[in-house]
Amino acid sequence: MDWTTRIESENRSIDLPWSKKAAISLSIKREDLIHEEVSGNKWRKLRYHMLEAIGTPNCRGLVTKGGAYSNHILATASAAHSSGLSSVGFIRGELTEPLNPTLSRAEELGMELIYVDRTSHRDSIDDLANRYRLSEGWKKIPEGGSDHLGVKGCTEILTEKDKIDFNFLCVSFGTGGTAAGLVKSLGIKQELIVIPALKGLDIEKHIRDLIPEDWDNLKSKIIVKDGYHFGGYAKIDENLIEFMRSFEGDTGIALDPIYTGKMMYGIKEMVQKGDFSPGTRILAVHTGGLQGRAGMGKRLGIDFSSR
């Protein structure tokens, strides 16, 4: 995996009845096609961490943390494996066998999984690594990859053409690194619509903590739409399931139920409510995460596919 080359993903124009009726131009940035396992914003967030790890003499491997269905856990395991590094993942919760597809694949890629209770999992990755004697020679990466290096990688999502062609960028929100990187790289007249996948988050604080030096100049460019979390992280209902199936059937583009499904559902609702003027040009960022929908589908007994 070549981490030295900056990747530009393609934009796909989407012509749907609800966007066409409102005279809205809608496109989706196919970050999900960057890599099968290190896809979307995970490749962006890991890029500079990987360059640092590979460039560090005697680096033993990567240490990070995440939930049982974490896109970041699998992406880190895959990135480490492809670069000849070891990896350790602190997993929130107890070991449950058989392992779900996410953790099973991470283990196949050589990641050592350490299960910690929810209270311990709230500790920083540095504290967890120290507790398990994984400090010296190990590259520590925070949950979701959201720190200054993760933000730096996410500033590379948009091309110069993107900064001219669209009025609004839309992105789902988890740990904040992608949103922080996008708002730093917006065009002069662009705004960023953030759609949280969780409820009860102080979105502005999360982004401010990641880009404190830029916050005062950029905060006016952020629009938070927090009514599309469907009850919380990984919570879904029949409306979201049917929307995902319909969207995939109409466009051929698969969404995940945790992040991108909720983002696109929110965009549709906003368009139908008249939140955008006719002629508005919107670019939605597909942040990947499709591996998680297999695990969610198996756990809930749901087929998210349109087929």
pLDDT exceeds cutoff 70 at 306: no
Residues 166 and 290 in one domain: yes
Q: CATH code at 116?
A: 3.40.50.1100
Q: What angle do CA 66, 212, 41 make, to 5 degrees?
A: 40
Q: What mean pLDDT do residues 240-248 have? A: 94
**Distance in angstroms (rounded) separating the CA atoms of residues 187 and 183:** 9
Asked if 193 contacts 168 with a C-beta cutoff of 8 angstroms, the reply is yes
Residues 207 and 289 in one domain: yes
**Distance in angstroms (rounded) separating the CA atoms of residues 101 and 144:** 19
Q: What's the confidence (pLDDT) of residue 1?
A: 84
What is the rounded end-to-end Cα distance, in angstroms, of the chain?
32
Residues 93 and 193 in one domain: no
Residues 141 and 174 in one domain: no
Q: Which two tokens stand for residue 268?
A: 């549709």
Q: What mean pLDDT do residues 184-209 have? A: 94
Q: What is the DSSP string of 102-149?
A: HHHHHHHTTEEEEEE-HHHHTS-HHHHHHHTT--TTEEE--GGG-SHH
- Please write the tens of the pLDDT for every residue from 103-140: 999 999 999 999 999 999 999 999 999 999 998 999 99
| 207 part of a folded domain | yes
pLDDT exceeds cutoff 90 at 299: no
Provide the pLDDT confidence category of residue 85 given band limits of 50, 70 and 90.
very high
**Distance in angstroms (rounded) separating the CA atoms of residues 131 and 21:** 57
Residues 132 and 166 in one domain: no
- Please write the tens of the pLDDT for every residue from 211-234: 999 999 999 999 999 999 988 887
Residues 30 and 45 in one domain: no
Q: Which two tokens stand for residue 12?
A: 């796909």
| 160 part of a folded domain | yes
Residues 167 and 295 in one domain: yes
Provide the pLDDT confidence category of residue 48 given band limits of 50, 70 and 90.
very high
pLDDT exceeds cutoff 90 at 191: yes
Residues 29 and 110 in one domain: no
| 248 part of a folded domain | yes
**Distance in angstroms (rounded) separating the CA atoms of residues 37 and 20:** 33
**Distance in angstroms (rounded) separating the CA atoms of residues 255 and 266:** 13
236 contacts: CB under 8 Å, gap ≥ 6:
230, 257, 261, 296, 300
Domain count, the chain: 2
Nearest to 258 by CA among 175, 305, 198: 198
Q: What mean pLDDT do residues 130-154 have? A: 95
State the residue range of the domain holding 190.
Answer: 11-35+155-300
Residues 199 and 226 in one domain: yes
Q: How far is CA 26 from CA 17, 29, 100, 168, 277, in A?
A: 11, 10, 35, 10, 13
Q: What's the confidence (pLDDT) of residue 235?
A: 84
Residues 290 and 169 in one domain: yes
191-196 vs 222-224, strand pairing mode? parallel
187 contacts: CB under 8 Å, gap ≥ 6:
158, 162, 163, 164, 166
Which of 114, 145, 176 finishes a domain?
A: 145
Which of 82, 110, 145 finishes a domain?
A: 145
**Distance in angstroms (rounded) separating the CA atoms of residues 134 and 116:** 15
Residue 269's Cα: distance from chain center in Å?
21
**Distance in angstroms (rounded) separating the CA atoms of residues 116 and 253:** 36
Q: What's the confidence (pLDDT) of residue 264?
A: 97
pLDDT exceeds cutoff 60 at 307: no
Q: What is the CA radius of gyration of the chain?
A: 19
